[in-house]
A and B are shown apart, each in its own frame.
Chain A
């Protein structure tokens, strides 16, 4: 039942990533064309626009969710590839634990970065 759970969440996280990463791609590459996500005009990746977007909590929530889903989706994919290429049974449990530890570690770092920028954006002059 474990594998069903992991695989179902792999699919659900894939759909969530499609939406959130799509927004990220539009923000970074289509903003000047569409006029979205660049409240001060020009490129959305300029500092002024970054600060204006970074003040809103919705961006923090979206990026934290994107980070969590990408980490889960990516690590499940890597785990599946490793298992299919063949490792013995006792290494499978160790691999699972290592992926979980590494994933949680990267998630914590990513969250710290996101919240730090939120604080910077809200205190910038």
Chain B
């Protein structure tokens, strides 16, 4: 494939069609690239004008939905957030996310991610059932309590951390950084009381203690969630709980006085 000028980039794309009996293979495309074009723009250009059989996932095109995760020049990243000319000036290699089965071409089977995520009860578990079903007010949460889990709530479930994790590539049964980070996110939320439920899941043989802190998940996360940090803090929570040294959270009441801090003033509307 000959490049006509410097701004032509050769896309080496990993193709795979499960309906045929062939193995995965590489296919090359020549794409005229300009400054500011993302990998997703390049793939769309290929699909629209060169090869409509190319399959890939995309949705928002702005790094908030998590659909377009793929292996770009050997590193898992979001295609819509990766500019072509910032990472290469000749060749661009695109493959589907590793550690997942492949449905077709660049489309990974993310069901395992969602099953592992849902196994850690990723929602607020609170004993006040009446309040959860028919809320009468807000749960009070101060800035300090919010900061403790906010970073980990930015997860967009793209699966890129799971693709980068070396433990997951050796052992597919490992829960993975995404699920463990979300378990920690809900454990730290002051509105949540589900630690005892989640600890049975995360301290299982396939749980948090398989992590060796390679840190690749944090290096590749497109939203700065830092799953490696959440996992180490989760290990600390579990160990302190086992040693009966865990500080118990004061039960979060609905707009009631807590820890000596005054009830927030709700201004009267006139």
A interface bracket (residues with beta carbon within 8 Å of B)? 10 to 19
- Whether A1 pairs with B242 at a CB distance below 8 angstroms is yes
B239 on interface, CB distance cutoff 8 Å: yes
Min CB gap A56→B, angstroms: 33
The smallest C-beta distance from A124 to any residue of chain B, in angstroms, reads 44
Measured between C-beta atoms, what is the minimum distance from B152 to chain A in Å?
20
B152-180 contacts to A (CB < 8 Å): 167, 170-171, 173
Chain A contacts of B200 at CB under 8 A?
1
Q: Which of B171, B173, B199, B209 contacts A7 (CB 8 A)?
A: B209
Q: Does A57 contact B (CB under 8 A)?
A: no
**CB-based A-B contact count at 8 angstroms:** 38
Chain A residue nearest to B239 in the complex (CB): A8
**Residue B207 at the A interface, CB < 8 A?**
yes
Indicate if B266 sits at the interface (CB-CB under 8 A).
no
Is B204 a contact partner of A84 (Cβ separation < 8 A)?
no
Shortest distance in angstroms between A12's beta carbon and chain B's nearest beta carbon? 10
Most buried by B among A8, A80, A85: A8
Chain B residues, CB < 8 A from A11: 239
The smallest C-beta distance from B143 to any residue of chain A, in angstroms, reads: 31
Interface size on B, residues (CB 8 A): 18
B199 close to A3 (CB less than 8 A): no
A83 to B207, CA, bound (A): 12
Contacts of A3 in B (CB 8 A): 203-205, 207, 209
Q: Show 11 A/B contacts (Cβ-Cβ < 8 Å), sorted by A.
A: A1-B199, A1-B200, A3-B209, A4-B203, A4-B241, A4-B242, A7-B235, A7-B239, A80-B209, A84-B167, A86-B171
Supplied contacts A1-B203, A1-B242, A3-B205, 14 more A-B pairs, CB within 8 Å: A3-B204, A4-B203, A4-B238, A4-B239, A5-B242, A7-B209, A8-B243, A11-B239, A83-B171, A83-B205, A84-B171, A85-B170, A86-B170, A86-B173
